[in-house]
Structure 1
Amino acid sequence: MIDEEFIQRHLVQRSLLSHLLTPAAGVYSLLQKSRMQRQLKRVIKADIPIIGIGNIVSGGSGKTPFTMALAAQMQQDGWRVAISHRGYKGRLENTPTLISDDKGVLYEVDQSGDEAWMMANALPGIPVAVGKDRLGVISLVQSLQPTVQALIMDDVFQNHRFHKDVQIACFDAELGLGNGRLIPAGYLREKPEALGRADLCVISCKTPDADATPLLEAISPYCPWIEVLRYQPAGVYDLEGKRHEIRDLDRTVLVSGIAAASGFESLAEQAGVDVCAHFAFGDHYHFRSREALQPLLRLLNKESIRHVCTTAKDMPKLAQHRDLAPLLLELRIEPQAGQMETIWNIIKERQEIR
């Protein structure tokens, strides 16, 4: 797993290593174009509107929280909406499966994958399906959830096998386009010109001082409709869903397994969490290894620390360790008031989603 320091040194910034890898990036680009041409030979049109959400960077773009916020806004507007997620690193990734329905979450996190489980747990009443076979998932949702009016599909910007009624590309204001080079020399899956396929680009600002201006200027020639979405802390919650006052917490350790660990730390500090240490693991880390957790456990015991603050997708995995479970608190984030309602209304207006 590539750590955040490596990403910052070689993929966000240009280095000797990224320069040496530039020829390999050219090969990657050719393979991507060949894959796209094959998929475009037969594009399937679903019977329900598809809202595709993705990015042109390798991770940390904010597409998952945006997917959740959009689904919640649509539900609030009276829409019957479902979500498709790959279920990355879950046991059901290779099998199209409905992991939640009107009755609640149907599978555990190790089966669903961390992000898909997080969505299913946080969005009651919104069915979530997993599986990297997205055509299979579309058929599954239409079969098992016939009243669904729209399907939001997460991480499908590079999937051309089916028609999307709306395409949304997500970015993080601080990560931006990385060093501007393609994988493996940089952080890009595609060049910015690919944003011509997007109906909307969303730039997420997860810290108060995040400046979206440079990225706005970089992508505006390719995508005429760009929205800047500002997130804010929405409190900390224990495993039972009880909210805790941050001002009542003493020294707290952060634990994360996400692409943008530094952003999570900034959010925690913005919320007023008294951060004394941050154990940052790779994105989608499983947290099954007790050995990997030993430095954390030693610090907790030595300093008598009673609070471990983590992310929504990491909390159920950490909770598998019974000695950690009572200490866990999830730091939740949400878009600033009114922003998602504005974006959803414009989507309906411009794309005539009915």
Structure 2
Amino acid sequence: MKAPRYWFDGSAPPLHARALARVYGAAARLRQRFVRPRKVSRPVLVIGNLIAGGSGKTPLAIAVVERLKADGWTPGVASRGYGRDEAGTPRWVEPVTDPKLAGDEPVLIAARTGVKVRVDADRVAAAEALIGAGCDIVVCDDGLQHRRLRRDIEIEVIDGRRRYGNGLLIPAGPMREPAARSADCDFRVLNVGVDADIEAGFGEWPMRLETGQALPLIGGRPLPLARFKGQRVHAVAGIGDPERFFATLRAHGIAVVPHAFADHHRYTPEDLRFGSDLPVLMTEKDAVKCMRFAGERHYSVPVSGTLPEAFWIALQDRLAKLR
């Protein structure tokens, strides 16, 4: 779903959207009132956001998993697998799993980290499966609103450019929950991307997205992004905020011909036929869905989230009390 303009441009939402937002809020409060969180036998760390659409959860989840591994943990990742077929079927996710069956983000996380990844609409069952497979900590990708699984640490990710938009609940605004919910989270990470002008506020940890390579989808040696400097390229992004990816390429001096798709878009070969022989650069999340019909002009541009060392020290301190 493409976000309505009034979510972020300052214009007033229509009256019917405001009315539906009140219904959404009442239903959410009622649902939370009757949820009984279930605790599992290992620590649970949840990464999520308060707005609909992407804010940088997946780069942070990958960074957290890699840091946990470096610190001696055996993490596993639990995900709902948004938009996948057979949503009611639990599944282990491998780097070669079809994203249609597992979801694009779980496949990307499995490929980047090599840890066990489980998709299941039942987060408690997913966590228990991971623990049964030898994981000593469960990382939930996009799980702030799924309260049935009791969590020990919550990390909110905030889009540094869009933040909370107009601050209203869906569908009048982008909020899944009121902004006050942010105060309940243990850590608040501000995704500043590549924009050096965005500064983190009080209580926020800045996360920068770093990239420097383009990976051919059909094999071959990685190319530095500097190779494309001054060139026109087709840029493909089916993420919550495609402009974030386009800005990353422009920051490297690349002339972008933008092609924005809806978040979690399912690509077909026709989607990548642009009528010219320019290189096609896309996000990692898009690339996992285009492998089957990729050509030699198609490249994935991986990003890595980097945070201050003080953030990792603070997280380690919280984890030490749970270990």
| TM value normalised by structure 1 | 0.84
Please say which of residues 86-95 and 151-160 is displaced more in the overlay: 86-95
Q: Which residue of 2 aligns with 1:68?
A: 62
Q: Which residue of 2 aligns with 1:116?
A: 106
Q: Which residue of 1 aligns with 2:297?
A: 327
RMSD: 2.0
Q: Deviations over 1:47-82 (max 9, x none)?
A: 010001111111221111111111011112222111
Q: 1:262 aligns with which of 243, 255, 261?
A: 243
Measured in 1, the distance between the counterparts of 2:149 and 2:289 equals: 33
Measured in 1, the distance between the counterparts of 2:225 and 2:12 equals: 44
Residue 299 of structure 1 aligns to a residue whose secondary structure is coil
* C-alpha spacing 1:31/1:83, structure 2 compared with 1 (3 Å): same
Is 1:353 aligned to residue 322 of structure 2? yes
Task: Map residues 48-127 of structure 1 onto 2, 5 A cutoff.
Answer: 48-100=42-94, 105=95, 107-124=97-114, 126-127=115-116
Q: Deviations over 1:232-281 (max 9, x none)?
A: 22321112373102233343111111111111000011133332x11111
Q: 1:245 aligns with which of 206, 224, 228?
A: 224
The answer to whether the 8 A contact 2:47-2:157 is kept is yes
Residue 117 of structure 1 deviates from its aligned partner by: 0.7
Measured in 2, the distance between the counterparts of 1:288 and 1:297 equals: 10
The answer to whether the 8 A contact 1:96-1:140 is kept is no
The answer to whether the 8 A contact 1:59-1:259 is kept is yes
The answer to whether the 8 A contact 1:174-1:210 is kept is no
Q: Which residue of 1 aligns with 2:310?
A: 342
* C-alpha spacing 1:127/1:234, structure 2 compared with 1 (3 Å): farther
Is 1:308 aligned to residue 280 of structure 2? yes
Residue 289 of structure 1 deviates from its aligned partner by: 6.3
Measured in 2, the distance between the counterparts of 1:161 and 1:83 equals: 16
Residue 29 of structure 1 aligns to a residue whose secondary structure is helix
Question: What runs of 5+ residues in structure 1 fail to find an aligned partner?
Answer: none
Measured in 2, the distance between the counterparts of 1:173 and 1:137 equals: 31
Please say which of residues 234-243 and 189-198 is displaced more in the overlay: 234-243
Residue 327 of structure 1 deviates from its aligned partner by: 1.4
Q: Which residue of 2 aligns with 1:22?
A: 18
Report the residue type matching 2:92 in the other structure.
Answer: L
Residue 88 of structure 1 deviates from its aligned partner by: 1.1
Residue 348 of structure 1 aligns to a residue whose secondary structure is helix
Q: 1:185 aligns with which of 147, 172, 189?
A: 172
- Number of matched residues? 319
Report the residue type matching 2:316 in the other structure.
Answer: K
The answer to whether the 8 A contact 1:51-1:152 is kept is yes
* C-alpha spacing 1:349/1:22, structure 2 compared with 1 (3 Å): same
Task: Map residues 136-285 of structure 1 onto 2, 5 A cutoff.
Answer: 136-143=125-132, 145-146=133-134, 148-213=135-200, 216=201, 225-239=203-217, 240=219, 242-249=221-228, 250-275=231-256, 277-285=257-265
* C-alpha spacing 1:11/1:297, structure 2 compared with 1 (3 Å): same
Q: Deviations over 1:152-210 (max 9, x none)?
A: 00111111112111011111110101111111000111111112321111111013245
Measured in 1, the distance between the counterparts of 2:220 and 2:155 equals: 31
Runs of 4+ in 1 over 6 A off after TM superposition: none
Residue 340 of structure 1 deviates from its aligned partner by: 5.9
Q: Deviations over 1:67-102 (max 9, x none)?
A: 1111011112222111111111222432222113xx
